[in-house]
């Protein structure tokens, strides 16, 4: 006969204000099997925990139900209490009377009755619980970092410094990410490359870090502590070991007019190229789509001039499979396409550019050698106009609903950079709201206004028209409520940012979730901001949400700390609430394997008992290490052979019966 | 005169737009070709309604200066549709004028099978004098 203990928590006034604990206790006391029914203001506090432990020991309880907050909050706490008191932790059930009752109802009488109902359901379930025992899985002491921007570089360095092997996978030919493309950085205006390059070199020369550039993750299998990942190393056509980075090849290559991605197409590159002078590794790639040799079998100039003989036209993509204990995603961001914003004339005028393009124009290695020039006629502008929030905070369907967070600050930076070099240039910034929270950020923006004479106008621009020798801006100064028709020579759009397109397929490979905007989702917005809800997958950088460099680096360090914590364990306990097949009932129909998102189901012969007759049949088999207990197979099984341990059909039906 | 609170609610409802979504960016005003002829500008229009100052709107020149060009609607990043708000107030003004709007009794005698339904609907928006 089961002996069930029942405990109701007040959660201070959180629960007690809407649920009368005495009503709940009276509602369950007479249920057969209940031998203890108690209440306490804070069940999770030490005294509350002791109360449960004592009750288990004194009464030899076979199961307990705690009516309290969500199991997401304290199920683990109470399971530990049970285990320490000698009760299998899976004999604990939680009735969520806080999130599901007191926080969402106002009427105390109804709230108390609903709490009783939920308590009864949990009691009905716990009576059918069986002790479960987790398995131990070993932890592979190696981490994978996906994305070689500042987030990925920092995370890789921190993990490697703790002594673990790290593979850093980057899809472009060099690590560095967007930070490598920036000129100066707010709020201190230090040169981006000067602070980034040493970190790139540290990562490249670290004996624990293995960098794979021009590479993409192709397949992910496994689970926390034991992921198996296949990476496609795209054919570079240049031997990494032989190449010295001398540049003879790209100097000789006759294909000249391919837009350089790194310069956002503002400069051209060859068919064999490095994206920028400090690229790491300093080994070129051949763009096979444009190489004459690849297209027609003629040319081979690069091969002729390459002294060490590093050019390998016949290289093929290489697939590398490796095991990892933890994965960090750091895939970063891109700016949105402006096709839907015709009123800003971005597609019509060379003198309307994005802020990201301006970074290249103001950069010494950029298309104008760092000189402020109109891209249409090379003239130095007398007036430059910035427009903020282009495509951000937009719910009309043309842009993104969120604030891109970095643009108020980088626009303040751009305005100051122009004023600093060219004090005679008129700089206007159209803004909706100024968002400058951050250490020394508002002071920086105010310096732009007060010391450099940058003019800020509240109001978003309605239209930009290219008149040939100048651009006209129609706007309204909302503070003075006057119409403005402004002539300017250059317009710079603070364009919204979004996650890279590869974030979505990557998230589904990792079974990690993404939000409606394709940013990686964290396990808890406040308390677990660098973990994905999928165990073993961690998040860093602008792929998780818009953020600047200091925040990115902080988050990357935090993700690395989580990885180190995980890799420092020798074994991980698995979740025993997995699917279980009754082979005597399974008819081998094969419906279950296709629905399993974790590839945990296979089929094979087993000796089954067919009404007393022993025969060998093809039946379903669950790999307990891979199964995550999602229950998809249970739903499709037509013969009732599949069930979920800890959440069996019987248990769930008993809950429903107890409710109505 | 109708109860102003009720009127605001009805105007918002008829406009099929949610004024609270406005973030005061001013793109509607920046796009409006009639801005300078108006005493209350498109972005202010939204705040007048949110304050419930319907009288102020009813007596404004804006009602009759708006061209219904929908530039403001096209540009608004928040899907507010100021032109629809303006139209809604305009209709309220028309209905109120002298309180002599067309009634069901007025049209019964005029009905014939050929008459498009749309004409009837439109007639109820008009006044007699
Ligand atoms: C115009 C502009 C100016 C800025 N100025 C400043 C400033 O002054 N100060 C400041 O603090 N911040 C600034 N920022 C913000 C800064 O750029 C970001 O905070 C920072 O780059 C985020 O780093 P990240 O590593 O998360 O992303 P990224 O820099 O985008 O790096 C992501 C990397 O991952 C790679 N990648 C993407 N997908 C995959 C995949 N599937 N597989 C493998 N690799 C992949 C990408 O190629 C890239 O190398 C600015 C941003 C912009 C747009
Ligand atoms: S073989 Fe291709 S990459 Fe080499 S020089 Fe010729 S076109 Fe350029
Ligand atoms: S950071 Fe500033 S410019 Fe960028 S979207 Fe937010 S408010 Fe607009
Ligand atoms: S619809 Fe009216 S308010 Fe809107 S832009 Fe046109 S004239 Fe201005
Ligand atoms: S454009 Fe839309 S959000 Fe902006 S002020 Fe006008 S109504 Fe408000």
Q: What is the CATH number of the domain that holds A526?
A: 3.50.50.60
Helix axes A150-161, A192-205, angle to 10 degrees: 40
Question: Which residue in A475, A473, A483, A465 sits closest to A384, CA to CA?
Answer: A473
Is residue A188 one of the residues assigned to a domain? Answer: yes
* Distance in angstroms (rounded) separating the CA atoms of residues B4 and B89: 12
A347 and A264 within one domain: no
Kindly tell me if the per-residue pLDDT of B2 is higher than 60. no
The first and second tokens of residue A62, run together, are: 């076979």
Q: Is the same domain home to A532 and A465? A: no
Q: So what's the ipTM on this one?
A: 0.77
Q: Are residues A598 and A623 in the same domain?
A: yes
Give the contacts of A371 (CB within 8 A, at least 6 positions apart).
A380
Confidence of residue B121 (pLDDT cuts 50, 70, 90): confident
B interface residues, A as partner, C-beta within 8 Å? 21, 23-27, 29-32, 35-36, 41, 43-44, 71, 75-79
What burial class does residue A513 get, using C-beta atoms within 10 Å of its C-beta: 0-12 exposed, 13-18 middle, 19+ buried?
Answer: middle
Q: For A125-177, what is each residue's pLDDT tens digit?
A: 999 999 999 989 999 999 999 999 999 999 999 999 999 999 999 999 999 99
pLDDT tens sequence across A260-271: 999 999 999 999
CATH at A93 = 3.40.50
CA dist., res. A300 & res. A252, Å (int): 10
Quote the number of domains for chain A: 5
Please say if the pLDDT value at position B1 is more than 50. no
A455 in any annotated domain: yes
Q: Which residue has the tokens 């970063």?
A: A332
- How far apart CA A521 and CA A532 sit, in angstroms, is 6
Q: Is residue A266 part of a domain?
A: yes
Query: Quick check: is A133 in a domain?
Result: no
Mean pLDDT, residues A418-422: 98
Tell whether ligand 1 has an atom less than 6 A from the beta carbon of residue A544. no
Min Cα–Cα distance to chain A from B107, Å: 41
**Lookup: tokens for A323:** 């095991």
Q: What does the CA dihedral A321, A323, A329, A330 come to, rounded to 10 degrees?
A: -70
* Neighbour-count burial for A205-227, b at 16+ CB within 10 Å, e otherwise: ebebbbbbbbbbbeebebbbbbb
On whether both A469 and A364 belong to a single domain, the answer is: yes
Go through chain A and tell me how many residues it has: 660
User: What average pLDDT score do residues A336-350 get?
Assistant: 97
Q: Which residue, A452, A472, A498, sits at the end of a domain? A: A498
Is A622 close to ligand 2, i.e. is its CB under 6 Å away? no
Distances (CA, A) of A86 to A66, A89, A123, A198: 17, 9, 20, 55
Which of A116, A17, A166 lies closest to A560 in space, CA to CA?
A166
Percent of chain A with pLDDT over 70: 100
Option in A395, A399, A461 nearest B30 (CB): A461
DSSP, res A155: H
Tokens matching residue A531: 């973990």
Q: Of A126, A154, A184, at which residue does a domain stop?
A: A126
Rounded to the nearest whole angstrom, what is the distance from the C-alpha of residue B78 to the centroid of ligand 5?
Answer: 7
Co-location of A526 and A558 in the same domain: yes
The answer to the question of residue A328 being in a domain is yes
Helix (H) or strand (E) holding A53: helix A46-59
Any domain includes A544: yes
Q: How many CB atoms lie within 10 A of CB A188?
A: 10
- Residue-wise pLDDT for A78-113, tens only, equals 999 999 999 999 999 999 999 999 999 999 999 999
CA distance B56 to chain A (A): 17
Range of the domain at A260: 248-305
Residue A465 and residue A339 in one domain: yes
Among B36, B75, B78, the residue with its CB nearest the CB of A462 is: B75
- Is the pLDDT confidence value at A5 over 90? yes
Name the least confident of A181-190, A268-277, B3-12.
B3-12
A288 reaches B (C-beta below 8 A)? no
Structural domain contains residue A437? yes
pLDDT of residue A557: 98
Last residue of one domain, picked from the residues A512, A542, A567: A567
Q: Please give the C-alpha separations between residue A388 and each of A53, A244, A410, A474, in angstroms, as whole numbers.
A: 59, 44, 10, 15
Chain A CB contacts of B44 under 8 Å are 481
Inter-chain touch A462–B27, beta carbons under 8 Å: yes
Average pLDDT of chain A to the nearest whole number: 96
Q: What is the pTM of this model?
A: 0.86
A548 in the same domain as A431: no
Quick one: DSSP state of residue A524? Answer: B
Residue A554 sits in the same domain as residue A635: no
Q: Is the Cβ atom of A271 under 6 angstroms away from ligand 2?
A: yes
| Site of tokens 């891209």 | A375
Range in A184-188, A628-632, A652-656 the model is least confident about: A628-632
Smallest Cβ distance to B31: which of A394, A397, A462?
Answer: A462
A97 and A49 co-located in one domain = yes
* A285 touches ligand 2 (CB under 6 Å): no
**Same domain flag for A409 and A464:** yes
Q: Per-residue pLDDT averaged across A37-64, rounded? A: 97
Asked whether residue A30 falls in the same domain as residue A97, the answer is: yes
pLDDT in tens, A603-614: 999 999 888 889
Q: How far are the Cα atoms of A8, A42, A118 from residue A104, in angstroms, in the given order?
A: 18, 20, 14
Looking at the structure, tell me whether residues A380 and A448 fall in a common domain: yes
A33 located within any domain: yes
Statement: residue B129 has pLDDT above 70: no
């Amino acid at each position: 006969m089961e002996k069930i203990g029942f405990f109701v928590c007040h959660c201070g006034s959180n629960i007690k204000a809407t649920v009368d604990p005495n009503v709940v206790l009276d509602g369950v006391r007479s249920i057969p099997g209940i031998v203890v029914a108690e209440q306490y203001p804070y069940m999770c506090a030490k005294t509350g925990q002791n109360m449960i432990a004592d009750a288990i020991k004194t009464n030899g309880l076979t199961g307990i139900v705690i009516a309290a907050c969500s199991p997401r909050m304290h199920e683990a706490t109470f399971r530990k209490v049970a285990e320490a008191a000698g009760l299998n932790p899976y004999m604990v059930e939680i009735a969520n009377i806080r999130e599901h009752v007191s926080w969402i109802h106002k009427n105390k009488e109804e709230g108390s009755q609903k709490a009783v109902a939920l308590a009864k359901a949990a009691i009905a379930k716990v009576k059918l619980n069986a002790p479960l025992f987790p398995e131990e899985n070993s932890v592979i002491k190696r981490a994978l970092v996906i994305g070689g921007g500042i987030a990925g570089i920092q995370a890789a360095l921190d993990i490697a410094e703790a002594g673990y092997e790290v593979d850093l996978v980057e899809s472009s030919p060099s690590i560095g990410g967007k930070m490598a493309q920036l000129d100066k950085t707010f709020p201190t205006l230090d040169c981006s490359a000067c602070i980034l390059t040493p970190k790139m070199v540290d990562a490249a020369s670290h004996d624990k870090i293995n960098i794979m550039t021009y590479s993409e993750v192709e397949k992910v299998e496994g689970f926390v502590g034991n992921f198996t990942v296949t990476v496609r190393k795209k054919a570079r056509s240049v031997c990494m070991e032989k190449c010295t980075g001398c540049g003879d090849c790209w100097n000789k290559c006759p294909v000249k007019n391919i837009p350089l991605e790194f310069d956002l197409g503002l400069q051209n590159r060859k068919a064999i190229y490095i994206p920028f002078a400090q690229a790491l590794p300093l080994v070129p790639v051949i763009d096979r789509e444009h190489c004459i040799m690849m297209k027609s079998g003629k040319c081979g100039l690069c091969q002729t001039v390459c002294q060490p003989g590093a050019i390998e036209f016949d290289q093929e993509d290489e697939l590398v499979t490796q095991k990892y204990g933890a994965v960090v995603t750091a895939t970063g961001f891109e700016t949105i396409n402006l096709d839907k914003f015709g009123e800003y004339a971005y597609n019509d005028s060379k003198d309307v550019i994005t802020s990201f393009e301006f970074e290249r124009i103001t950069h010494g290695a950029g298309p104008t050698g760092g000189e402020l020039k109109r891209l249409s006629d090379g003239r130095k502008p007398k007036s430059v106009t910035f427009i903020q929030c282009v495509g951000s905070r937009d719910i009309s369907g043309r842009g993104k609903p969120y604030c891109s967070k970095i643009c108020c600050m980088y626009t303040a930076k751009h305005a100051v950079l122009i004023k600093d070099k060219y004090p005679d240039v008129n700089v206007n910034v159209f803004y909706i709201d100024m968002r400058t929270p951050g250490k020394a950020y508002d002071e920086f923006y105010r310096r732009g206004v007060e010391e450099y004479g940058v003019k800020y106008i509240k109001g978003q621009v309605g239209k930009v028209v290219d008149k040939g020798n100048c651009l006209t801006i129609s706007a309204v100064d909302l503070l003075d409520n006057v119409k403005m028709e402004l002539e300017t020579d250059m317009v710079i759009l603070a364009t919204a940012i979004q996650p890279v397109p590869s974030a979505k397929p990557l998230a589904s490979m990792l079974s990690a979730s993404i939000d409606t905007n394709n940013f990686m989702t964290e396990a808890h917005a406040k308390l677990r901001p660098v973990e994905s809800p999928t165990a073993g997958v961690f998040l860093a950088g602008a792929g998780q949400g818009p953020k600047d460099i200091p925040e990115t680096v902080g988050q990357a360090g935090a993700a690395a700390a989580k990885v180190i914590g995980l890799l420092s364990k020798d074994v991980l306990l698995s979740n025993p609430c997995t699917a279980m097949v009754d082979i005597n009932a399974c008819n081998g129909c094969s419906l279950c394997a296709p629905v399993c998102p974790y590839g945990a189901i296979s089929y094979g012969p087993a000796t089954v008992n067919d009404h007393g007759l022993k025969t060998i049949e093809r039946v379903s088999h669950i790999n307990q290490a891979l199964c995550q207990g999602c229950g998809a197979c249970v739903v499709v099984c037509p013969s009732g052979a599949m069930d979920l341990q800890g959440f069996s059909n019987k248990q769930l039906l008993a809950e429903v019966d107890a409710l109505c | 005169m109708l109860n102003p609170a009720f009127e605001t609610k009805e105007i918002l409802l008829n406009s099929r737009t949610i004024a609270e979504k406005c973030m005061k960016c001013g793109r509607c005003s920046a796009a409006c070709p009639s801005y300078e002829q108006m005493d209350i500008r498109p972005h202010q229009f939204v705040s007048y309604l949110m304050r419930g100052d319907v009288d102020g709107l009813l007596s404004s020149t804006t009602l009759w200066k708006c061209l219904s060009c929908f530039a403001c609607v096209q540009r608004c990043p928040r899907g507010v549709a100021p032109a629809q708000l303006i139209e809604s107030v305009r209709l309220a003004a028309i209905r109120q004028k002298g309180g002599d709007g067309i009634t069901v009794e007025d049209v019964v005698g005029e009905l014939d099978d050929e008459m498009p339904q749309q004409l009837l609907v439109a007639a109820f928006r008009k006044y007699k004098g």
